[in-house]
Amino acid sequence: MGFVGLGKRLLEAVFIVFCIITINFLLIRFMPGDPVVHIIGEDEYLRLEAEAPEVIEEVRREYGLDKPLPIQYMTYLNKTLHLDFGNSYRTKLPVLETVLFRMRWTLLLTIPAIVLSSLLGGWLGLRAGWRKGGLLDSIVSPIMLFLNTIPTNCMAILFLMVFAFRMGLFPIGGITSGGLSGLEKAVDILWHMALPLMILVILRTASYYMLMRSTVQAIRNEEYITVAQGKGFSQGQVLRRHALKNALCPYLTSVCMQFGHILGGSMLVEVVFSWKGMGTLIYDAVNAKDFPILQTCFLFIGICVVGFNLLADVLNMLIDPRLREEGRHA
Amino acid sequence: MLEIEEVSIRFGHNPEVVSDATFTVNDGDRLAVIGETGSGKSVLLLAALGLLPASARITGSIRLNGRELLGCRERELSQIRGKEIAYIPQGSGNGLNPLYTVGRQLCETIRKHRPCTRKEALLQAAALLESFGLEHGEDLCRSYPFQLSGGMRQRVLIAMGIAAGAELVLADEPTKGLDRRRITLVEDAFHRLGERTLLCVTHDLRFAKAISSRVIVMYASQQIESGDSRSFFEEPLHPYSRAMLEALPEHGLHANMGFAPPRQDQDARSDCHFYDRCPWRSERCRNAPPMLAVGERKVRCWKYAD
């Protein structure tokens, strides 16, 4: 295993996270207007400016905005390292707690969605790609292609109308009905999860399917597949021994990229189903100009994307000896 | 013994890529099938292995030691592939799976047809590689395909083809994409195949001369000439064969008949397939000539009818 290459990737990842933190800091500072406006709201700011300017200065001091930029930056870095992200402008609650709480609900939705869809889409794509023009390919491919073209929010609203509103099979939105505990609560949450999860699974399965199918189709034409058949292995054996592992590299990379988006990627579905996860948190925070929340969410999402990209690199290195070699010379 | 009789192959409703191929490869024969890209030679090889895609329609008969291969069940075919027929792919392609070590891929072949432990198989694999002039067989077994040179890869593929003990070797353009020096190494490997029967498809004339005892020339899906290797290279009969040998660099750098124009609506035409390019063409060439015997040799040209 090329430890040098791995170490290099790790350093790169740390550097990128550092950049994200810095950009996060600068983004807010370079926005037009006085930050205090964003903190206390425009109406309040205008009123105070006319009636009691000293209050504005007090707020400025309280948030450390009167100090020079480098000092603000150092304070910011220090606080970030200690996971102190301040309080929400809107609810005045500690940001970290809020974000972590919301994150749980998002993960509850997205982890099963990615696991289910990557297995289902991968398996179907593998079968369909191996027998191009076969029964599975001709039936499933057009359906998947169609699903792939539907925007998430469009499908979410459609499902909401048909299955929840018209047929009344599922709740309109939310996470739980409240007033329940234990097993009943778990079942209730599952019931609320069903529709958003279904949409996420369907849409992601479609894209995983298309990816796996085209990868396997390309691999099927490779010389070593013919050679393996020439050795006397059956179709199934060739698929398992030679095609699967070669298809896995690009596929795992793509799945890991998706995992990078487990925090922010389900925003549209969350908003439509008023699922109180990170997606709705970001959505509400944007509307309310709640910057500490937004900064923290962006940071977490950024770390997630970088982390899973790193994981994809490591997995690929484990699978492909050529990448290990490259790392060794690096 | 591999007998190919009146084999015609077409894909869907396209023109035939192989028409009426008929020849026999006797035990110990080293037959080279020569022809330009697209003349249908590789397809013929894959047909013998039963590896053509489902869209291919094959008629005729391909028999291995008297046993019909066409229409054989997949299960029976996979018993024959590797064990009785070895397949050696093109030199330029990646015939070796890039993710596995050479040893693993060799062992896989050995153990498919002769159950033994991994260790035994690995020893056999190393010995086999060494018998093909590749030194340090055990080290080689531990390396990955990308760590080998093109010539080495191709020799590994030759060894891998016969690893399960196949007596009939089918090779598909084994020198394609290799330079002269590497080709010499591959030639050497082919000589090490010993008494095995060889059917090699190639467009490399010098390579064919070096390894074959008999030659078949294919042009536009047809066999146009066959005969023993020595007399063929001394005096080719068919105008196409002549042009091909004259075009070798040692005869100066000129292609005296230009390049092959695509042949249109083949199915609708009944003339000789080489009519458009032939310097000797005459009125009777408007009817397709049959294979005519010239001594021990055969040629598809009216010129030898008298």
Q: Report pLDDT digits (tens) over B77-87.
A: 888 898 899 99
Question: Does the pLDDT value for residue A162 go beyond 90?
Answer: no
Same domain, A233 and A284: yes
Do residues A157 and A70 share a domain? Answer: no
Torsion of CA B230, B232, B236, B240, to 10 degrees: -140
Residue A250 has pLDDT above 80, yes or no: yes
Which is nearest to A206 in space by CA: A256, A278, A258?
Answer: A258
Mark yes or no for CB contact B93/A242 under 8 Å.
no
DSSP H/E element including B260:
none
A-proximal residues of B, 21-60, CB under 8 Å = 46, 49, 51, 54-55
Residue B178's domain comprises 2-99+144-304
Please give the C-alpha separations between residue A110 and each of A119, A173, A174, A267, in angstroms, as whole numbers: 14, 16, 16, 10
Which pLDDT value is given to residue A116? Answer: 93
Asked if B96's CB is within 8 angstroms of A226's CB, the reply is: no
CB contact under 8 A, A231 and B157: no
Of residues B132 and A173, more confidence is placed in B132
The answer to whether residue B177 sits within a structural domain is: yes
The pLDDT assigned to B51 comes to 87
Degrees, nearest 5: CA angle B107-B113-B118: 30
Interface of A with B in 127-156 (CB under 8 A): 133
In a domain, A2, yes or no: no
Task: Judge if A127 and A199 occupy the same domain.
Answer: yes
Nearest CA in chain A to B161: A231
Question: How far apart are the CA of A233 and the nearest CA of chain B, in angstroms?
Answer: 6
CA B265/CA A171 separation, integer angstroms: 65
Q: Do B93 and A223 touch (CB under 8 A)?
A: yes
Cα atoms in the 13 Å half-sphere on the side-chain side of A5: 19
Confidence of residue A201 (pLDDT cuts 50, 70, 90): very high
Same domain, A213 and A131: yes
Taking each continuous run of H as one helix and of E as one strand, the counts in chain A are: 16, 0
User: pLDDT at position A211, please?
Assistant: 93
Full residue range of the structural domain in which residue A252 is found: 101-320
For B34-39, the CB contacts below 8 A with 24+ separation are B34/B202, B34/B203, B34/B205, B34/B208, B34/B215, B34/B216, B34/B217, B34/B218, B34/B244, B35/B201, B35/B203, B35/B217, B35/B218, B35/B219, B36/B203, B36/B219, B36/B260, B37/B203, B39/B218, B39/B219, B39/B220, B39/B221
| pLDDT at residue A263, as a whole number | 80
Query: In this structure, are strands B30-34 and B197-202 parallel, antiparallel, or unpaired?
Result: parallel
* Residue A126, both tokens: 């593998």
Residues A189 and A224 reside in one and the same domain: yes
Contact status of A319 with chain B (Cβ, < 8 Å):
yes
CB contact under 8 A, A233 and B157: no
Q: Is residue A176 part of a domain?
A: yes
Neighbours of A236 (CB within 10 A): 9
CB within 8 Å: A230 and B79? no
pLDDT in tens, B214-254: 999 988 888 889 999 999 999 999 988 888 888 887 777 66
CA nearest to B88, candidates B21, B178, B24, B16: B178
The CB-based long-range contact list for B179-185 (8 Å cut-off, 24+ gap) reads B181/B151, B182/B91, B182/B149, B182/B150, B182/B151, B182/B154, B183/B207, B185/B133, B185/B151, B185/B154, B185/B155
How much is the average pLDDT of A274-302? 86
Cα B290 versus chain centre, distance? 23
* DSSP letter assigned to residue A40: H
Q: Which residues of B touch A246 (CB under 8 A)?
A: 97-99
pLDDT digits (tens, 9 = 90+) for B280-298: 888 888 888 888 888 889 9
Please give the order of strands across the beta sheet that includes B292-294: B85-88, B168-172, B197-202, B30-34, B214-219, B222-228, B297-299, B292-294
Note whether residue A26 is domain-resident: no
Residue A14 placed within a domain: no
Residues 99-128 of B with CB under 8 A from A: 99, 108-109, 112-113
Cα separation values, A290 from A47, A78, B76, B215, Å? 20, 21, 70, 82
CB contact under 8 A, A246 and B99: yes
| Total structural domains within chain B | 1
Q: What is the CA radius of gyration of chain A?
A: 25
Q: Which residue has the higher pLDDT, A323 or B253?
A: A323
CATH label of the domain that carries residue A113: 1.10.3720.10
* First-to-last C-alpha distance (Å) of chain A: 13
How much is the pLDDT for A89? 76
Which positions in chain A touch B82 (Cβ < 8 Å)? 230-232
Buried b (16+ CB within 10 A) or exposed e, B63-72: bbeeeebeeb
A105/A76 same-domain check: no
Residue A142's pLDDT is: 93
Average pLDDT, chain B: 86
Which positions in chain B touch A224 (Cβ < 8 Å)?
94-98
Q: Cβ contacts (< 8 Å) between A133 and chain B: which residues?
A: 54-55
Give the pLDDT confidence score for residue B170 in this predicted structure: 92
Q: How far apart are CA A172 and CA A184, in angstroms?
A: 19
Looking at chain A, which residue has its C-alpha nearest residue B85? A230
Q: Tell me what pLDDT residue B107 has.
A: 92
Q: Are residues A52 and A115 in the same domain?
A: no
Prediction pTM value: 0.81
Does residue B258 register a pLDDT over 70?
Answer: no
Average pLDDT over residues A118-133: 91
Lookup: tokens for A159: 């499902």
Residues from chain A that touch B94, judged by Cβ atoms under 8 A, are 222-224
A114 Cα to chain B: minimum distance (Å): 27
Q: Is A227 an 8 Å CB contact of chain B? A: yes
> How many domains are there within chain A?
2
Which chain B residue is nearest to residue A220, measuring alpha carbons? B53
* A174 and A266, same domain (yes or no): yes
| Tens-place pLDDT, residues B73-113 | 888 888 889 889 999 988 666 889 999 999 999 999 999 88
Q: Mutation target for A interface from B97, B111, B157: give the one with most A CBs within 10 A.
A: B97
Amino acid A127: pLDDT:
92
Q: Does residue A88 sit within a domain?
A: no
Q: Closest residue of A to B74, CA-based?
A: A234
ipTM surpassing 0.95, yes or no? no
Contact A226 B86 (CB under 8 A): no
CATH number of the domain enclosing B94: 3.40.50.300
Span B12-32, mean pLDDT?
A: 87
Q: Which residue of A has its CA nearest to B105?
A: A228
Nearest CA in chain A to B87: A230
Tell whether A75 and A117 lie within a shared domain: no
Q: What is the DSSP string of B1-20?
A: -EEEEEEEEEETTSPPSEEE
In a domain, residue A133? The reply is yes
State the average pLDDT over residues B114-125: 89
Instruction: Choose one of A82, A117, A141: the last residue of a domain.
Output: A82
Is A184 at the interface with chain B, CB within 8 A? no
A175 and A261 assigned to the same domain? yes
A49 lies in the same domain as A186: no
Bridge partners, B259 (sequence order): none
CA nearest to A164, candidates A198, A202, A209, A123: A198
Do A202 and A166 share a structural domain?
yes
- SS3 of residue B110 by DSSP: helix
| A321 with B99: Cβ contact below 8 A | yes
**B109 domain residue, yes or no:** no
Mean pLDDT of chain A: 85
Question: Residue B260 has what pLDDT?
Answer: 61
Nearest residue of B to residue A134, measured between CA atoms:
B54
Q: What is the torsion angle, in degrees rounded to the nearest 10, for the CA atoms of residue B295, residue B296, residue B301 and residue B306?
A: 20
Q: Give the DSSP per-residue string, B208-250.
A: HHHH-SEEEEEETTEEEEEEEHHHHHHS--SHHHHHHHHTSGG
**Minimum-distance CB partner of A227 among B55, B87, B147:** B87
What pLDDT is stored for residue A330 in this prediction? Answer: 40
Q: Bigger pLDDT: A170 or A293?
A: A293
The pLDDT of residue A191 is 84
**Residue B122 domain-assigned (yes or no):** no
SS3 state at B296: coil
pLDDT tens-place string over residues A16-38: 999 998 988 888 777 777 777 77
